[in-house]
Structures are given as C-alpha cells and as structure tokens.
Chain A
Amino acid sequence: MEAFGLLLHGFAVLLTWKTLALMMVGLVLGIFVGVLPGLGGPNGVAILLPLTFTMDPTSAIVMLSCIYWGALFGGAITSILFNIPGEAWSVATTFDGYPMAQQGRAAEALTAAFTSSFIGSLVAVLLITFLAPMISSFALKFGPPEFFAVYLLTFCSFVGLGREAKHKTVISMSLGLLLAGIGMDTVSGNLRMTFGSSELLRGINFLVAVIGLFGISEILLTMEERLALRGHAASISLRVVLSVWKDLPKYWVTLLRSSFIGCWLGITPGGAIAASFMGYNLAKRFSKDPESFGKGRIEGVFAPETAAHASGTAALLPMLALGIPGSGTAAILLGGLMVWGLNPGPLLFVEHKDFVWGLIASMYLGNVVGLVLVLTTVPIFASILRVPFAAVAPMIVVSCAIGAYAIQNAMFDIWLMLGFGVVGYVFKKIGIPLAPFTLALVLGNRAEDAFRLSMIGAGGDLKVFWSNGLVGSITTLAIVLLFWPVIDGLLARVGLTRTPRPRRSN
C-alpha cells in the first residue's frame, strides 16, 4: 500500500498545466518521429534530449518518456499501413496487420494495435508500481547461461511453432546468424568478415536490414503486381474503434498471455524484442485456427503488440533499478538521467522518490492521453491508403532512405538497405520467411556472446545450462518447443490430445 501512496504523490507532482502541456507536445512529436521508419524512439529521444536541459528533471523525463510513448504508437502505423516496422519489436505486428490493411481493414488493425499497446503497457506499469523491488532482484539472477537459455527459447519457439516449413525457417535463421557475425567479436576482440572494409566494422545494423527487407521489398512486389495499395474501401469512422473494443473481451486469454510474456522478458535486459515474436507464436499455437494467422487475423495484431509494449515498458525497470538499459531508447533515457545528476541504480528508488514516482505516474497519464490522441487520429492515418500508389511509393522510399541514413549517418547504409530490399524480394518469391532472418540478425550476437561467456565461466561444461532451476527449466522448455511438432504428433498417436491435427504438407 506504500506504493499506492507514493503513486498518488507522483500524480500530484504531475498534475500541473505545464507538465500536461509538455506531455501533449512530447506525444505529438513522438508520433511524428515514430511514423518515419528508422527514426523511431531512440533517435527521436536523442535529438530532443538537449531541449530538456533547461527543465527540471521531472518535467524533462516526462516529456522524453512521452516522446517515447508517441514513437511506440507511431511505429505501429507504418508496420500496418506499409509493412515497414519502425522498431525491432514491430516486426511481428506486420504479419497480420499488413494483410488486414490490404483487405481494407486498416482502421480496425490500427485500433487493435493502439488498444493492445495500451493494455500491454498498463499491465507492465502496474507491475512496476507494486513489484519493483522484487523484480529487480529477479533480474540479477540472469548470468550468461540464463541469457543464452532465453535466446535459445526464442529461436526454438520459432522453429517449433512456426507456420512455415521447418527447413526454410532454419535456412533463413542461419543466414541471419551468419550476417550477425560481421564486425567486431566482443569475446575474442578480433574482427570477423569485414574483409578490410571500414564500413563493415560496425556490423550490419538491424534496422537498416529491416527497412530494406520489409519496406523496400514490399514496394518491389507491389510494383510487379501492378496493384495500388489495396486500401480504397477502408471504412473509416470512429464506429470501427467501438466495434473492435466490443470484441476485446473475446481475446482476454491472448491479451493476458502476451502481457505476461512481455513483462517477463522485458525485465530480462534485452528481451523486449524476443517478446513480440514469442507472443505472436504462442497465440498462434494455442489458437483453434492457426492456419488463419498471417492472413489478416486481428488476434495476430493483439498478441505481438501487447507483448511488445508490456516488455518495452517493463524494460524501464532494469534501467532505473540496475542501470542496465533494456532497449535502445531506455539507453538514451539513461544518458539523460545522468545529465540531471540522477544515477540509476539500487538507491535511485530511495534517494529520488519524487522523480521515480513522477516518472511512473507519467507512464499512466502518458498512456491514457496517448491512446486518446492516436485513436482520434486513426481515420486520418488510415486515409493515407487512399492516396494513389504512384504518389505514395516514392515518398515511402525516400523516408526509408532517410531512416536508414539517420541511424548511423552513413551513406553505406542506404546501399545496404536497397540490397536487403532485393534480398527480401527474392525471399518472398521463393517462400523463405523473413522473420527468422531478422530475429537471428538482432539476437544472434547476444546469443553467441552469452553462450561463449557461459562456456568460459563453466570451463566448457554444457551442464551449466541445467545448473540451477531457472536456467534448467528455460533450456528444457526450449528443447521441448523445438521438437514440439514431433512431441505433439506422438501425443496425438497415444490419444492424449483430443483433436489430432492433420499433418500439413508443405
């Protein structure tokens, strides 16, 4: 109950006209940066950070975190309308969101995305409010073997639960792992696969690859098919919002499951990206009709968005309590905190109560205000699809190029993006799924480092992955998921599951 009192105090700190105005400004700015692919949360916050130097810490962090919320909401817009994920964790949102937009259900998909973002963050904020001290000690339990087990779980759930043919998933994942190896190897301190090029030193940036693989390749496909963006019939009215909300209770299991996964992986530093994929895969696994996923099912938007935002929000907890940023944006916020003389760490919650609870209260307010703001503008965003393809396509390509360039201010990245566009096009043509590729690209390095650190620490003994209850159960779960189709088949044969699934030929 102490937490509740402190939270009320936090609201009291916030409820001034000045702070509320800053909040609105932050949200609007955030939505704008979020809509530009690649610019996204981290860059938006970084660019606007110096603006806040003259403010007091609480106002400053409120404004910055509202930019962050705005960017998160904005990122969903491009994922759904143009198949271009703005942030790593929006990738899974495109799987069903984009098909929905193509079927003229853009407004419905957007409403679903915004609503589930709101629910996910809300659950995570509640968690932060009441369980902060307990959770930060849980995060400390994660050493290299535990981290590796989590990454393994993500990879395995992809292979075991994926809709695509297993061998194609593995091919795609292996290619991603290969590309993730480019650049400096932290463990040995040597360069790998850079072939003397200084452009390749920093490795392949994940966002550059994603913008090319999803955005550019989609433009290529659409051009080939001579189709306009199929959004003409989009019915756009606020009634859509209400009808989506009316159906919301039907999906409570999915929402709850995704929130849980999101919170769990979010407080594991670096787990936020894995969450959206896992949320999506599990929703599909437990669905009565898994075949309809990927073809424009609204549940396929609810699941990853809820998980992504729960984890994005929960990621702020390790940042505040331990000083480890769980995401790129959290890292920039961390830099901001230090400028104001606030050192994130175990004592922040004790020594700077006003600030911490002001921030937590701003998560509640920012979320509510943000939801209202984006929902009222859904019709405007959805109507972008009415613009002829010939006019929109060049704008998308330009904004992709700006986004790719802005990440590291490198011209080379624009060529890389175009290259990945072609790769994405070819992959789509020959039916190799893109998601495992991007997942491997973003988690490959971390998984490798975690594995090698575990091996150094254990003297090369693989038993370390079963050395305690936590790591043991995650590793075992990973292996079960990897062989799930086989296990599922065996269970069906001995009559343990009620409805034996027909084997899919693919």
Chain B
Amino acid sequence: MKAVGVAAVLSLSAPALAGWEPTKPVEIVVAAGAGGASDQMARMMQAAIQKNNLMKQPIVVSLKGGASGAEALMYMKSSEGDPNKVLIAYSLIYMLPLSAKIPFNWRELTPVSVIALDQFVLWDNSAGPKTVKEFVAAAKAASAPFKMGGTGSKREDHVLTVFLEQKTGAKFSYLPYKSGGEAATQLVGNHTESNVNNPSENLEVWRAGQVRPLCVFDKERISYTSKVTETQSWADIPTCKEEGVDVQYLMLRAMFLPGKVTAEQQAFYVELFHKVTQTAEYKDYMEKQALKPIFLTGKDMVQFLEEDDAVNKALMTEAGFVAK
C-alpha cells in the first residue's frame, strides 16, 4: 500500500522537478540541542545530500532548540512561503502546543515525508536489576525516591514514565534533563536508577557495558540482529509486553516545509528525501541507531499524522499534561 503511494507521488513529481529547485542554501531546522537525536539525523542527511550530490545548493543545519524546541516551531510558522527551510520534526509537534500552550498547529505547515520511526527502551545501570520483573520489584521496595531520568518535562519520556507507573504500580521520581545525552551519563554515574532513552542516545554507553536495556516499548522486537555489544544485538532486547508491562510508543521523525509553499516546491523535497532514504548513509544510520525505516508522503502521511496526533493527545490527556 505504502509503496504504491510513494511510487504514485514520485511519478507525479518527476515532471514538476524541472520547474523548481532551491536557489538559496537550504536550512534543516532542528528543534533540539546539539548532539541530540534530531541533530545527529540532520547531520546525517546533510552529509548524505552533499556526498551524493542530491542537490545543487548547499544544505546547512540550523539548531533552534530554544524553549524545548518551541523556538523551531515558531520559526517555521513565521517562515510562511519560504521553500528554503525544512523542519525535522518529532512528537513535540503534537505535545508542545498541548503542554505549554504554544500557538502552533502542524496542519499550518506543509508535510513532506515521514522518514523514520524511533524506538524507546527502558534502561538501567548495568549494576542494577537484570530483568523488568526485578526492576519493578526494586522500584516498589525503594524507600528513597526511585529516579527516572528523561528529556524535558511533559514530553514523550515523561508520558512513558507515567504509563509505566500505571501498568506496574511502582512509583518513580521523574528528573527532566536538557538532553538524552545528559540523561545517559547521569544513569552511568548512578545519579538516576533508570531512563527511557531512544536507542541512539544510549548506544555508546551500552556498548561500553555501563547500562543495560531491559525492554523495548513496541509491539515487536527491533529487527536488527547484528551484534552491538559483545553478546547482544538490538533484536535480543525483549519487548516490554513480553515482560508483562504492556506499554507501547513509537515516535515519528518527519520533514515539514513552512506553510503556503507551492506544489512544485513540495514535490522537490519529497523527491529529495526519497533519494536520501536510498543512500548508504541513511541505511547505515537506521541500523546503527536502531530506527524503523519508513517512507510516507502525500495522503498516507497526512492520515498517519492525524492518527498519531489523536494517539498522542489521548496519552497527554490521560497523563494529565494538557494545560488548561
């Protein structure tokens, strides 16, 4: 189904390509800090586009992580009609307007494509409990606050923590850090007991044997079977459901243009990012960071976004994070 959709869009866009291409350097707008997952992905795409000559104009990464990423959203909103800015978006496009009442709606932007889905994993220190069951028992037995680190407040990590509490009956003290990298080192240094980082954020400390993955918040295991550490691959991590904790969450990684750009301009970027997903850099990155490859565009993408928005809104409401 999806493949058909992609092919249809591509065949439509092919003649339009001759009509428009960027005349100025293109900016990839990152709604997060330096070194975070969005930044890494933007740099990967920058390198993929430049090394494979996918575009004549240079491409630059511009970090707009101020106000937990709200800066990037407002920047895109105010750039209406400017086809030289692409946002690399994630779940904050649904959550930030709800929790902080930012006057932003993703429907005002022009969707280009969904390029990946990111996983979440429950991690603890390698000196900590070895299974989900032991972990939950330890959390319940703890007399001092049992600390869960994460990125930002009232966002995906925080939501996951709330649902983990609901399903297990354990109580966590959620510590909001500025980035996933910080959450990772704080776990290694034993300042928190656990975190729910994306695979990419904990990859290096996992390889160094400093943290342990307990379970992945998805309905199926991660598909990559090549060894990451000496003994384990991503596919060896059980799902949380297998371990008796039925919490699932996947996060989109999607590209948007500002509102009011022309159909030719939109088509150019659909084609560009489709080409990016064919490059060795992209494939390599997907596997290394344990992302789910996906390519959605056009109607499929909008439908996906609407459904995803509804899911996130429901989660945020249930967690009590929607500002009144």
Which residues from chain A sit less than 8 Å from chain B, CB to CB? 46, 50, 53-54, 140-144, 183-191, 198, 201-203, 322-325, 328, 331-332, 334-336, 338-339, 343-348, 408-409, 449, 453, 456-459
9 contacts between A and B (CB under 8 A): A53-B46, A184-B66, A191-B67, A202-B66, A323-B204, A345-B203, A345-B204, A449-B178, A457-B147
How many whole Å from A41's CB to the nearest CB in chain B?
13
Q: Contact at B100–A190, with CB atoms within 8 Å?
A: yes
Q: Once the chains are docked, how many angstroms separate the CA of A348 from the CA of B34? A: 19
Q: In this assembly, does B133 line the interface, its C-beta being within 8 Å of a C-beta of chain A?
A: no
Q: Which A residues lie within 8 Å of B33 (CB)?
A: 331
Q: Contact at A331–B35, with CB atoms within 8 Å?
A: yes
How many whole Å from B324's CB to the nearest CB in chain A?
12
Q: Which residues 28-42 in B have Cβ within 8 Å of A in the complex?
A: 33-35, 39-40
- Interface bits B203-214 vs A (CB < 8 Å: 1, else 0): 111011010000
Q: Contact at B66–A453, with CB atoms within 8 Å?
A: no
User: What residue of chain B has the Cβ atom nearest to residue A202's Cβ?
Assistant: B66
Given A50-B58, A50-B60 in contact, is the A456-B153 Cβ separation under 8 Å?
A: no
Q: Contact at B186–A143, with CB atoms within 8 Å?
A: yes
Q: Which B residues lie within 8 Å of A54 (CB)?
A: 51
Given A144-B191, A201-B71, A325-B35 in contact, is the A189-B100 Cβ separation under 8 Å?
A: yes
Q: Contact at B147–A53, with CB atoms within 8 Å?
A: no
Q: In this assembly, does B274 line the interface, its C-beta being within 8 Å of a C-beta of chain A?
A: no
Q: Contact at B207–A347, with CB atoms within 8 Å?
A: yes
Cross-chain pair count, CB within 8 angstroms: 146
- Interface bits B54-72 vs A (CB < 8 Å: 1, else 0): 0000111110101110110
Q: Contact at B189–A142, with CB atoms within 8 Å?
A: yes
Q: Once the chains are docked, how many angstroms separate the CA of A226 from the CA of B281? A: 60
User: What residue of chain A has the Cβ atom nearest to residue B186's Cβ?
Assistant: A143
Q: Which A residues lie within 8 Å of B100 (CB)?
A: 184, 189-191
Q: Which B residues lie within 8 Å of A456 (CB)?
A: 145, 147, 173-175
Which residues from chain B sit less than 8 Å from chain A, CB to CB? 33-35, 39-40, 43-44, 46-47, 50-51, 58-62, 64, 66-68, 70-71, 74, 78, 99-103, 144-145, 147, 152-155, 158, 173-178, 181-182, 184-186, 188-192, 203-205, 207-208, 210, 321, 323
From the candidates B74, B154, B184, B204, name the one contacting A201 in the complex (CB within 8 A).
B74
Q: Contact at A335–B39, with CB atoms within 8 Å?
A: yes
User: What residue of chain A has the Cβ atom nearest to residue B201's Cβ?
Assistant: A323
- Count chain B CB atoms within 10 A of each CB in A140, A328, A344 and give the residue with the most: A140
How many whole Å from A454's CB to the nearest CB in chain B?
9
Q: Which B residues lie within 8 Å of A184 (CB)?
A: 66-68, 70, 100
Given A189-B155, A457-B191 in contact, is the A344-B204 Cβ separation under 8 Å?
A: yes
Q: Which B residues lie within 8 Å of A409 (CB)?
A: 62
Q: Is the interface of B mostly helix, strand, loop or mixed?
A: mixed
Q: Which A residues lie within 8 Å of B40 (CB)?
A: 335, 338
From the candidates B99, B182, B208, B323, name the one contacting A347 in the complex (CB within 8 A).
B208
Q: Once the chains are docked, how many angstroms separate the CA of A271 from the CA of B284? A: 35
Q: Contact at A343–B204, with CB atoms within 8 Å?
A: yes
Q: Which B residues lie within 8 Å of A325 (CB)?
A: 34-35
Q: Once the chains are docked, how many angstroms separate the CA of A322 from the CA of B44? A: 21
Q: Contact at A339–B46, with CB atoms within 8 Å?
A: yes
Q: Once the chains are docked, how many angstroms separate the CA of A53 from the CA of B59? A: 12
How many whole Å from A101's CB to the nearest CB in chain B?
34
Listed from nearest, the 3 A-B pairs whose CB atoms lie closest are A345-B204, A202-B66, A143-B191
How many whole Å from A53's CB to the nearest CB in chain B?
6
How many whole Å from A334's CB to the nearest CB in chain B?
5
Q: Contact at B175–A334, with CB atoms within 8 Å?
A: no
User: What residue of chain B has the Cβ atom nearest to residue A183's Cβ?
Assistant: B67
How many whole Å from A354's CB to the nearest CB in chain B?
19
Q: Which A residues lie within 8 Å of B58 (CB)?
A: 50
Q: Contact at B182–A189, with CB atoms within 8 Å?
A: no
Q: Contact at A346–B210, with CB atoms within 8 Å?
A: yes
- Count chain A CB atoms within 10 A of each CB in B51, B181, B203 and give the residue with the most: B181
For the A-B complex with A189-B158, A335-B39 known, give 19 more contacts whose Cβ atoms are closer than 8 Å.
Answer: A53-B47, A187-B153, A189-B153, A189-B154, A189-B321, A190-B99, A191-B67, A198-B74, A201-B71, A202-B64, A203-B66, A331-B33, A339-B47, A343-B204, A346-B210, A453-B175, A453-B177, A457-B145, A457-B191
Given A345-B204, A345-B207 in contact, is the A331-B34 Cβ separation under 8 Å?
A: yes
Q: Contact at B145–A458, with CB atoms within 8 Å?
A: yes
From the candidates A185, A335, A449, A457, name the one contacting B35 in the complex (CB within 8 A).
A335
User: What residue of chain A has the Cβ atom nearest to residue B60's Cβ?
Assistant: A50
How many whole Å from A489's CB to the nearest CB in chain B?
39
Q: Which B residues lie within 8 Å of A198 (CB)?
A: 74, 78, 103
Q: Contact at A189–B68, with CB atoms within 8 Å?
A: yes
Q: Once the chains are docked, how many angstroms separate the CA of A408 from the CA of B33? A: 13
Q: Which A residues lie within 8 Å of B103 (CB)?
A: 198
Q: Once the chains are docked, how many angstroms separate the CA of A257 from the CA of B320? A: 51
Q: Contact at A186–B176, with CB atoms within 8 Å?
A: yes
Q: Contact at A459–B71, with CB atoms within 8 Å?
A: no
Q: Once the chains are docked, how many angstroms separate the CA of A46 from the CA of B35? A: 13
Given A184-B66, A347-B204 in contact, is the A189-B176 Cβ separation under 8 Å?
A: yes
How many whole Å from B157's CB to the nearest CB in chain A?
11
Q: Contact at B185–A53, with CB atoms within 8 Å?
A: no
How many whole Å from A338's CB to the nearest CB in chain B?
5
